[in-house]
Amino acid sequence: MTRRTQILIVLAAALLPRLPFLWGAFQGDDIYYLAGAQHAQIDPLHPHHARYVYHGVEVSMRGHPHPPLNAAWLGAVLAFAGDTREVIFHLAYLPFSAMAAVAMLALARRFSPHPVLATLVFLAAPALLVNANSVEADVPFTALWLAGIACFVRGWLGCAAVALSLAGLMAYQAVAAIPILWCYLRWGLDRPARRVEWLAALAPGAALAAWQAFEWVTSGGLPVAATASYFSEYGLQRLEAKLRNAAGLTVHLGVLGFLAIRWRPAPIAVALAAGAGAMFIDAHPLFVAPFALGAAVIASLDWRRWEGQWLLIFFGAAVAVFFAGAARYLLPLAPAAAIAASRLRTPRTLAFGAGLLASLGLCLAWSNAEQWNGYRTFIGTLRDQFPARRVWVNGEWGLRFYAESEGAMPLVRGQAIRPGDLVITGELGYPLPLTTGGGALAPVAATGIQTTLPIRPIALGGHSGWSSVAMGLRAFDLALRSSEHGIAPVDRVRAEQVIAREPGLSWVPMNHPEADLHLVSGFYSLEGTSRWIAPRALVLLKSPPGPTPIAVTVYLPPNAAARRITLALDGVALLDQPLAPGLQTVTSPPVAPTGRSAMLTITVDKPTRVAGDGRELGAIVTGAGFGPR
């Protein structure tokens, strides 16, 4: 087979599976990268200076866990297209799939006895087949990473340094190329390595350092410091999160690298022990089997070969650095797994394994596309609702992108919702608890997002760790069947309008069945008989027949930062006094409101922040309103 024929085969395998998805909806974290692309239109040198709402809190993209090259590339595409048209953006990402295929073939020709089959095994990786249809950074990073390594092995050090530098600006984990390439220089050459080769391997680290320095000089801050602060704030490096991340990555390694297992006594024993231990975590075969296979892959590594060193180094780095355990995180080690498999398996077995992986990946990609297309369709049915009222979107990902594209605003924590507003909610996308403050939610539209195939990378009530181990540890999940409603939907989305309603309570216990109708903003979810409030909270009350004191029963934990509390009614200050730790009732002098209802504002002076909790916490309230109770 000629080299040209080999290239045509792998290009076809890389590009043809993309064609059915070119018109697919934006998905997953696309919305955040597109926010960076939009900011690049006004500040092309700092696309990551964008600000957006993330899970109800406004954040800066400076702390994003990826450097800015992907957002900059999207910014260039947006400048060319003039609008976020899905097909243009997906076409702009096809070259990365082609680059990955050609670079993998070049590597396989050097290290594999079956280069075309090894490349096809790599291209069949389910994470590649799914994520190549998004505009996230994972596939572009993998393509640049592979191109840099392939050029390095060929001795084209200038091209390697450029590609590896670009990979460094696409993802922090590009620095794992440094020890991988140093292993190649130390044990993979039949001659002493030159100094320039050792230095060229440092390109991704040098590029990241240069970008950090550029940001420091031009904006006075280090992006890596912002990232570290987010890791601390959201508790992403807690031991529990790291253990789940390690388990999830082991599961995905089992799917990705099962062809590279040496079926000898030691790997078999490791697989059996890992599978037995996994039964105590989740006895489902979609966790136990791939977890056991992943452990067997690690036990099968040939330490003497470069691909084994590559796989071990990157997997170890992924366990140490990442926190969500997503399948796409392991794409950079897929080439090593494919090369290792090609040394062990016959061509027929490799072809069968590639077909098996591709079938799984295409099924996942199809279900994934149907899910995101469902959000786009649902928002399309509501298009005529947007011009007449304020619209809020309570959720993330594709639902939020398409709602915001029509003019919706993202819901933030403690947001005041008023009568006449429309709220669009997706149950899967981490919706925030909200209060309607004197109104009631009336349904406008609702639907369940369904997929044709029962296989699902993510689903409401599922246990798939495909995108995040926060939802489960299985490699993927299967549709759940309900005897009453048939196949359970991937997600349930709804649109509800706030209808005005007179408050019925003068005193509002936080656990009262109608409390949500009185809580306007600043109140968090009910916990037993009380709620945390933000530093400023509003509650709508029914006016009493005569002058009555305002009272708030509040508990201040000893470690809370607040030390003063202020009460105001309809904007008029009533009370400002110190707040001591412990349970207490704060009472104002009698007051007579002028209308049938009155708005009580509770304010504390300092917020409390807890690692892993994005809320600003003021104090704990069990009841508020007219009259001490």
| 85 and 228, same domain (yes or no) | yes
Residues 23 and 171 in one domain: yes
* DSSP characters over 379-435: HHHTGGGSTTS-EEEES-HHHHHHHHHTT-EE--TT----TT-EEEEESSS-PPP--
- Indicate if 140 and 13 belong to the same structural domain: yes
User: What pLDDT is stored for residue 235 in this prediction?
Assistant: 62
Q: Does residue 320 lie within any of the structural domains?
A: no
Q: Model pTM?
A: 0.86
With a pLDDT cut of 70, the percent of the chain lying above it is 97
475 & 611 share domain = no
Q: For residue 247, count CB atoms less than 10 angstroms from its CB and return exposed for 0-12, middle for 13-18, buried for 19 or more.
A: buried
With 50 as the cut, is the pLDDT of residue 592 above it? yes
Q: Which of 234, 256, 282 is the last residue of a domain?
A: 234
Is residue 369 within 8 A of residue 400, CB to CB? The reply is no
493 lies in the same domain as 532: no
**Domain presence at residue 196:** yes
239 occurs within a structural domain: no
Over range 421-450, report the average pLDDT.
Answer: 86
Q: Are residues 523 and 450 in the same domain?
A: no
Q: Calculate the average pLDDT of the chain.
A: 91
Neighbours of 504 (CB within 10 A): 14
Query: Is residue 56, in this structure, part of any structural domain at all?
Result: yes
- Of the two residues 57 and 137, the one the predictor is more confident about is 137
pLDDT over threshold 80, residue 232: no
Q: Which long-range contacts (CB under 8 A, 24 or more apart) does 311-314 make?
A: 311/257, 311/260, 311/336, 311/337, 311/340, 313/176, 313/179, 313/180, 313/183, 314/173, 314/176, 314/180
CA distance linking residue 441 with residue 438, whole number of Å: 10
Rounded Cα gap, residues 522 and 437, in angstroms: 11
Alpha-carbon distance 51 to 35, whole Å?
8
Q: Encoding tokens for residue 432? A: 């925030």
Helix axes 397-405, 347-381, angle to 10 degrees: 40
pLDDT band at 236 (very low <50, low <70, confident <90, very high): low
471 and 575: one domain? no
Contacts of 536 (CB under 8 A, 6+ apart): 414, 521, 522, 601, 602, 603, 618
Is the residue at 316 inside a domain? no
Rounded Cα distance between 629 and 620, Å, is 16
Please report the pLDDT score of residue 304 as a whole number.
87
| Phi and psi, residue 486, nearest 5° | 75, -145
- Give 442's contacts (C-beta < 8 A, 6+ positions apart): 496, 497, 498, 499
271: in domain: no
Over residues 195-208, the pLDDT tens digits come to 999 999 999 999 99
Task: Specify whether 396 is located in the same domain as 527.
Answer: no
Helices (H) and strands (E) in the chain, counts: 20, 22
Q: Whole domain around residue 585: which residue ranges? A: 507-626
The domain boundary residue, chosen from 500, 520, 546: 500
Residue 628 confidence (pLDDT): 65
Same domain, 496 and 538: no
For residue 277, being part of any structural domain is answered with: no
Distance CA 108, CA 341 (A): 11
Looking at residues 311-316, what average pLDDT do you find? 96
Distance CA 535, CA 106 (A): 59
More confident residue, 7 or 501: 7
Q: What is the number of domains present in the chain?
A: 3
What local confidence, expressed as pLDDT, does residue 128 receive?
Answer: 97
User: In this structure, are 437 and 387 located in the same domain?
Assistant: yes
pLDDT at 229 > cutoff 80? no
480 and 537 co-located in one domain: no
In a domain, 419, yes or no: yes
User: Which tens digits make up the pLDDT trace of 472-510?
Assistant: 999 999 986 654 556 789 999 999 988 877 888 999 999
Q: Which of residues 473, 500, 527 is at a domain's end?
A: 500
Instruction: Please report the pLDDT score of residue 440 as a whole number.
Output: 79
Residues 462 and 524 in one domain: no
**Better-predicted residue by pLDDT, 71 or 614:** 71
